[in-house]
């Protein structure tokens, strides 16, 4: 297993700098009062391609030698990694093939196509994604860039937490959403070197809580096709991300579908920030577990803002 190091993170940050935003950190006195803590929101919803995943995708794409890049890149993804890899591939001028569940938000499919990505649809399960992808890769010979179980991707995602600790001093804790665990792993990788005393939490939907159950059991527990409004958090941990979660994460907190939607609405209303449901799980977890975070300085990673405006979750209930 190729485990990335902090040197890989520093190299990734230099490599991807021309292709990403150094996203701002924002605050909300209203949400601080509700939570009873001081929150610092790292706004990856304002990132290129609308999500943090452009960091890892860009690191993978621009780290390829010319021969491998010439064959193009390919992946499977529910949305944000697909559109981020398409963005990075477009910047380098190479082809990108992505396998996406047919249930993925139309806004994310449209973004993939807008960046030049070629979509092959599959059933909404991990097993279908992986099987369909195997066919696509065999046909194209493209370089596989896994959405999260990839050292290059994790090193790229770690640049988010690297920026955060440079922007805000003295964080007691950082919380990020968890699905496959790429962002959480990157956060663990960066903070273990830069701020080892900072606790790392993850937030997850109750209806897709396999990472939480994995942490409790001490082994990976994978659900094949969970149903949740947080479409970016439906995938299971893999060996590389499990390494970071098992060794560095303090706790994984779960929230209900209603709590996710309410938190999403709160951020839209009070902060005027467009975040997607997968981002809102962090805010929901902080509000639900006030005692865990009370009186502390907490970094909150808002991972993305790619929302289907014609199918907002509070209009679907």
If you write DSSP's letter for every residue of 69-132 in order, what string do you get? HTT-EEEE-SSHHHHHHHHHHHHHT--EEEEEETTS-HHHHHHHHHTT-EEEEE-SSHHHHHHH
Is 176 buried (19+), middle (13-18) or exposed (0-12) by CB count in 10 A? buried
The label of the residue with tokens 């080892």 reads 196
pLDDT tens profile 131-175: 999 999 999 999 999 999 999 999 999 999 999 999 999 999 999
Lookup: tokens for 146: 């896994």
Say what percent of the chain tops pLDDT 70.
Answer: 99
Listed in sequence order, the residues at least 6 apart from 104 whose beta carbon sits closer than 8 Å to its beta carbon are 78, 79, 82, 231
DSSP H or E segment with residue 174: strand 173-177
pTM, entire model: 0.94
Nearest of 5, 20, 116, 94 to residue 59 by alpha carbon? 20
Instruction: Give the per-residue pLDDT at 19.
Output: 97
* Torsion sign, CA atoms 28, 156, 195, 180: positive
pLDDT tens profile 240-263: 999 999 999 999 999 999 999 999
Instruction: Give the per-residue pLDDT at 317.
Output: 56
Lookup: tokens for 15: 């490599």
Exposed e or buried b for every residue in 27-51, given b needs 16+ CB within 10 A?
A: ebeebeebbebbbbbbbbbbbbbbb
DSSP H or E segment with residue 301: strand 297-302
- CATH number given to 54-144: 3.40.50.1100
Is 53 buried (19+), middle (13-18) or exposed (0-12) by CB count in 10 A? buried
Distance CA 315, CA 317 (A): 6
Taking CA atoms, 171 is separated from 44, 127, 167, 295, in Å, by: 18, 39, 10, 12
Sheet holding 96-101, edge to edge: 118-122, 96-101, 73-76, 143-144
Lookup: tokens for 312: 């907002």
Distance CA 175, CA 250 (A): 10
Distance CA 109, CA 114 (A): 9
The domain limits of the chain are: 6-51+150-315, 54-144
Distance CA 309, CA 317 (A): 15
Distance CA 235, CA 243 (A): 16
In CATH terms, the fold of domain 6-51+150-315 is: Rossmann fold (3.40.50)
Nearest of 244, 224, 219, 243 to residue 234 by alpha carbon? 224
pLDDT tens profile 33-88: 999 999 999 999 999 999 999 999 999 999 999 999 999 999 998 788 999 999 99
CATH topology match: 6-51+150-315 vs 54-144: yes
pLDDT above 80: residue 1: no
DSSP H helix total and E strand total for the chain: 14, 10
- Mean pLDDT, residues 283-290: 98
């Amino acid at each position: 297993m190729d485990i990335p190091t902090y040197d890989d993170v520093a190299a990734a940050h230099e490599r991807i700098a021309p292709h990403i935003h150094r996203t701002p950190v924002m605050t909300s006195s209203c949400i601080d009062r509700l939570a009873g803590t001081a929150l610092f929101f790292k706004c990856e919803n304002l990132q290129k391609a609308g999500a943090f995943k452009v960091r890892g995708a860009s690191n993978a794409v621009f780290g390829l030698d010319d021969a491998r890049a010439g064959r193009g890149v390919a992946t499977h993804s529910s949305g944000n990694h697909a559109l981020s890899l398409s963005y990075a591939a477009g910047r380098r001028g190479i082809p990108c093939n992505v396998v996406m569940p047919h249930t993925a938000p139309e806004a994310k499919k449209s973004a993939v196509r807008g960046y030049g990505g070629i979509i092959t649809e599959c059933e909404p399960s991990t097993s279908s994604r992986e099987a369909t992808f195997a066919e696509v890769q065999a046909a194209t010979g493209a370089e596989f860039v896994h959405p999260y179980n990839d050292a290059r991707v994790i090193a790229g995602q770690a640049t988010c937490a690297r920026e955060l600790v440079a922007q805000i001093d003295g964080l007691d804790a950082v919380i990020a959403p968890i699905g496959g665990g790429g962002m959480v792993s990157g956060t663990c990788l960066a903070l273990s070197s830069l701020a080892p005393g900072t606790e790392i939490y993850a937030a997850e939907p109750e209806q897709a809580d396999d990472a939480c159950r994995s942490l409790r059991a001490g082994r990976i527990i994978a659900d094949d096709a969970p149903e949740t409004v947080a479409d970016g958090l439906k995938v299971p941990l893999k060996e590389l991300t499990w390494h970071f979660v098992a060794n560095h994460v303090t706790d994984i907190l779960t929230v209900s579908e209603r709590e996710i939607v309410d938190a999403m609405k709160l951020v839209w209303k009070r902060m005027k920030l467009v975040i997607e449901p997968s981002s809102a799980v962090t805010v929901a977890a902080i509000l639900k577990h006030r005692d865990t975070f009370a009186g502390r300085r907490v970094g909150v990673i808002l991972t993305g803002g790619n929302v289907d405006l014609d199918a907002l979750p509070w209009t679907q209930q």
